[in-house]
Amino acid sequence: MVLVAPRSVRRETSALGAETGRDEVLALLRNGSGQRPRFDPGLAGGLRAWLEDAASTVVGARGEDAPRLFLGPRQLLGEPVDGVEAAGSLSGALVTACLVHALFRQIVTTGSVNDPLADGLSALAVDPRRGELVRQVGGLGPVDREALSSALRVHVANLFELTPRFAPGWLPRTDDRVAIPLAGGRVVLHGLFDLLVGAPVPETASLCAVGLTPEGPWALARRRLHYLALLETLRSGSPPFRVGLLHSGAGRYGVEDVLEEHLGAVASHLAGRLSEMARAGA
């Protein structure tokens, strides 16, 4: 059931001055939380067995001595590869996306942003993997730097109107990594939740996941959330209760329940993708 299909944030404020979109996202994530659905304890086992069979064919095609294979959304869902432009520079879309994700984490944890560009760069500077990105932005001329700063201000304004303020009891955590080993650990499916709230409960859907997409197709970002829901099902035994998607560039959001049909569709896609990789020799 789609509780709210992709919808643009409403700019008017409530009597308390809280943004309507932010309030509605939180209300939708909480709606029905007292009657969270219970799932067949065999669901996770069945999904895992399906993927174990497919992963075993990949291992057989690659050979026992092949290195461990790590597969994420880009390899499994057909997401575009991070862009690299002329002279080895990172694409503008990738730079913006990395900065927006850093600012999203700051909004969730502190509720404030002073200077979007400066704050985003400070957050990325502590990650050794983002050194080239920080250096590239530092070398921008005044015009390009102002264009990037202006774009970030739009994303941040939308995120302030979209991102709920979670009470500590929700246990909000950003960048929650999940890795699922298959075929004796020779194939690992991995992913990253932008935001996960709640605590796992055996046989009960109790978590809520919120995904962020700065730009790009809504359908692709939604499929990534379903992929992560499948990984969580394999990790904890139960899928998330509900997922929400925030599009910071367009100021849109959507919230939906996680259904067994979603998990089955993603598992079928992954099994097919693994079979393709086995036929190609991985």
Where along the chain do its domains lie? 2-77+167-277, 89-162
pLDDT value at residue 2: 58
What is the mean predicted confidence (pLDDT) over 41-58?
93
Q: Which of 12-21, 36-45, 129-138 has the highest mean pLDDT?
A: 129-138
Helices 260-279, 42-62: inter-axial angle, 10-degree rounding: 10
Look over the chain and give the mean of its residue pLDDT values, rounded to a whole number.
Answer: 86
Q: Is the pLDDT higher at 84 or at 276?
A: 276
Confidence of residue 227 (pLDDT cuts 50, 70, 90): very high
Nearest to 225 by CA among 44, 73, 106: 73
CB count, 10 Å around CB of 113? 19
What is the mean predicted confidence (pLDDT) over 23-42?
73
pTM above 0.95, yes or no: no
